[in-house]
Structure 1
């Protein structure tokens, strides 16, 4: 029997959650246009929509809120955050933002010009949009194995160096401002990147003067997988592995709402002084002073403390093992999921779950809606709806059509994971009755947030 680590914390406060009837859930999802983003949280039993900003903060972080220095400029909490980023990640300069997409906006405006190409190890929704809005074209350079949900590959997030080299040869290095490397890769199923690959990317990029910018949102989870799976790292600390990882990047965007264990906040970090000065000027336009960037002092203090807590060995081991527990239960019962299980979520393979529903009828969206109706569990579509449309208005057709069961940090117990597993297993046994959807409303960008649907007859 597999062993899973118990919670390395005890519960000090509780929040009641609603138990609804199936009829109530049918009414709620219909009102929400069969989009789980549009459900009201009061109607959700177990909320696995996202791990972004949904984590539970520690007593130490809550204590930090009480020493918030709400000065408009030069808050002491900013300097605590700056010190945490320097100590844990190793970057010289830090510009706080309200969340990760604020950092993406700054980075894209500063570095991308019209006609540029930005390679990355699989797209992410807001990242690609910011790149496109600034005239860039995203190019996927992840290894092919990442697009196959069944392959058991330890580092599915790795950059394919041949693809990267081909892009350099085709467009020229002067058209590539940076390569965006996500650690881990969300839309591949939370898959990590190996240290070996990061070193190789650094070597190739440096040869052509191309910068490397990490999407570091879940970098601690990536460090755990390097420790677990890569030769030579088993006896190294998470802190040491993380510091080495970051040494191969010129900077990073960070959504503090994930691995920094806070409900709001992010930052752009870098080693280049010129980029820092540009970011410091631009952040004033969109976020606020360079010493607060859209955040209250108390939020910066909580993030600074969360950064240190995130590299605790017991914390990150429990984090990964809890997600793995849910994934293992589903695999043992034949439910198709992305393998190996990633760091922050279990991803149901909707194409294999609902092979009778064509991708144009949004199988992942339909499955997420049906899971909510069946159990009150809220999940998220990560397929054709999330992929959106190209510049000509045509649908992107991602090879992976997924439903993400995203586990908030330090929020739910193994018993909650059992409820989720049993709901998915039960629904899989009834899968032939699930029908596709059609769009009734679609916004021009980031349609997965607010699109509305209705069931096909």
Structure 2
């Protein structure tokens, strides 16, 4: 295995101080946050690996573009630039800007889903499924079985299982499947990519049944990189060429520009269908803004257009994925269970294997994320039973096979020295893992609970008590 870790393909021009806290302070901060890392303040975190969404360090070229913002209410030249870049690199005819990815998910769900529909996809994503369900659809997971096993090493664990998809079509009928949602890459499987061959086969199968294919293209650049590195016939292809071919096997996509478009805010919905574009343009006026800005300032659209061009640079994405591999290698060598193979945006710790004595109903991934913060000021994210939410029919927890803690690496932000600090904190926790106890939930919102739920320890002294449930409900309301 190639163990070389490439240096940063950039130099640091501006620095931002980060928090340095004591363990006593972190004990207090996490208790005040209800043991939910989402409720910590950023200035309480030393290394913030909560998400790679909107946390990118933009380039000097992007910042220069921000000064060229055309803030006209309609017909901004920055929109025309963004439209041109999207057509060039993604190949779709129509683009509707949105304030971020979930704005695009909302529009797509409203214009395509009717009550009683089914939307198949390669593993759920939280906000995507929430919008689908809100509009009356049932999400059906048709990813390959291996994606649910963190230790199986396959090059493309994000692939659709064609037999599962065919069974669903036979059971419910193509008329009740408005589109297939294909995530490239699959976040909750550990950032796993989809092969070009699978995209091609899925598109052909869906086209034969009159079903559209819509990508969640949030991390499509990372997916293109893995195709280049792992799939036969693409080693000599550019990232841009691979990306363009990927998009040719879709009818449209949602995009959170806060990831692979290298910006701090923004997203878009793309499609080729003229009627769908007309419907989306009508709805975006209600929920976002004019079709030529969709909730974004002109300067934001300019930064996103320039970020798309920068994102297809091989040196950038190679370093980005290598940083993930570096951290995963350090943890794996220390015996810490991580999802394999390593994805492109994060390292996922298998909390079930890390804390086997904590049952899933006691939130092992949430517990581990809180403990990691106390250990070293590293903020991570739970991706397990809390994120999965509840079954709408029974009210019981969804119990995903994967109970993970996501260490998400922001783009162009941290160095290998920062990742060493993260690794050392994880190793220290692993050595005392038998002393770690679980949590109970004391406040639970009805939708997307992982953002604002609050917890308290099951056992052991706590220096600051979490606020009572009644107060929490009042605050949330």
TM-score (norm 2): 0.95
Per the TM alignment, residue 426 of structure 1 is displaced from its structure 2 partner at its CA by: 1.2
Per the TM alignment, residue 321 of structure 1 is displaced from its structure 2 partner at its CA by: 0.4
Corresponding residue of 1:117? 118
Q: Distance in 2 between the 1:4 and 1:365 partners?
A: 31
Q: Distance in 2 between the 1:447 and 1:25 partners?
A: 23
1:139 equivalenced with 2:135 (yes/no): no
Q: Deviations over 1:362-383 (max 9, x none)?
A: 0000000000000100000000
1:427 equivalenced with 2:429 (yes/no): yes
User: Secondary structure of 1:418's match?
Assistant: helix
User: Secondary structure of 2:62's match?
Assistant: helix
Corresponding residue of 2:402? 400
Aligned-CA RMSD value: 0.5
Q: Deviations over 1:242-281 (max 9, x none)?
A: 0000000000000000000000000000111110010000
Residue correspondence of structure 1 range 275-424 to structure 2 within 5 A: 275-392=276-393, 393-424=395-426
Corresponding residue of 1:12? 13
Corresponding residue of 2:469? none
Q: Distance in 1 between the 2:19 and 2:382 partners?
A: 23
Per the TM alignment, residue 394 of structure 1 is displaced from its structure 2 partner at its CA by: 1.3
Q: Distance in 2 between the 1:227 and 1:76 partners?
A: 34
Per the TM alignment, residue 203 of structure 1 is displaced from its structure 2 partner at its CA by: 1.0
1:70 equivalenced with 2:71 (yes/no): yes
1:89 equivalenced with 2:116 (yes/no): no
Q: Distance in 1 between the 2:71 and 2:118 partners?
A: 40
User: Secondary structure of 2:242's match?
Assistant: helix
Q: Distance in 2 between the 1:108 and 1:193 partners?
A: 23
User: Secondary structure of 2:260's match?
Assistant: coil
Residue correspondence of structure 1 range 17-96 to structure 2 within 5 A: 17-96=18-97
Corresponding residue of 1:163? 164
User: Secondary structure of 1:63's match?
Assistant: helix
1:450 equivalenced with 2:452 (yes/no): yes
Per the TM alignment, residue 196 of structure 1 is displaced from its structure 2 partner at its CA by: 0.5
Per the TM alignment, residue 390 of structure 1 is displaced from its structure 2 partner at its CA by: 1.2
Count of matched residue positions in the alignment of Structure 1 and Structure 2 = 457
Q: Distance in 2 between the 1:102 and 1:430 partners?
A: 42
Q: Distance in 2 between the 1:433 and 1:85 partners?
A: 51
Per the TM alignment, residue 5 of structure 1 is displaced from its structure 2 partner at its CA by: 1.0
Structure 1: runs of 5 or more not aligned: none
Corresponding residue of 2:211? 210
Per the TM alignment, residue 185 of structure 1 is displaced from its structure 2 partner at its CA by: 0.1
Per the TM alignment, residue 2 of structure 1 is displaced from its structure 2 partner at its CA by: 1.5
User: Secondary structure of 1:259's match?
Assistant: coil
Q: Distance in 1 between the 2:182 and 2:391 partners?
A: 22
Q: Deviations over 1:375-432 (max 9, x none)?
A: 1000000000000001122110000000000000000001001100111111111100
Per the TM alignment, residue 316 of structure 1 is displaced from its structure 2 partner at its CA by: 0.5
1:173 equivalenced with 2:174 (yes/no): yes
- Hey, which bits of structure 1, 4+ residues long, moved more than 6 A? none
Q: Distance in 2 between the 1:429 and 1:356 partners?
A: 14
Corresponding residue of 1:200? 201
Corresponding residue of 2:231? 230
Q: Distance in 2 between the 1:124 and 1:108 partners?
A: 14
Q: Deviations over 1:159-205 (max 9, x none)?
A: 00000000000000000000000000000000000001001101110
Per the TM alignment, residue 81 of structure 1 is displaced from its structure 2 partner at its CA by: 0.5
Q: Distance in 1 between the 2:286 and 2:303 partners?
A: 25
Corresponding residue of 1:187? 188
Q: Distance in 2 between the 1:164 and 1:146 partners?
A: 16
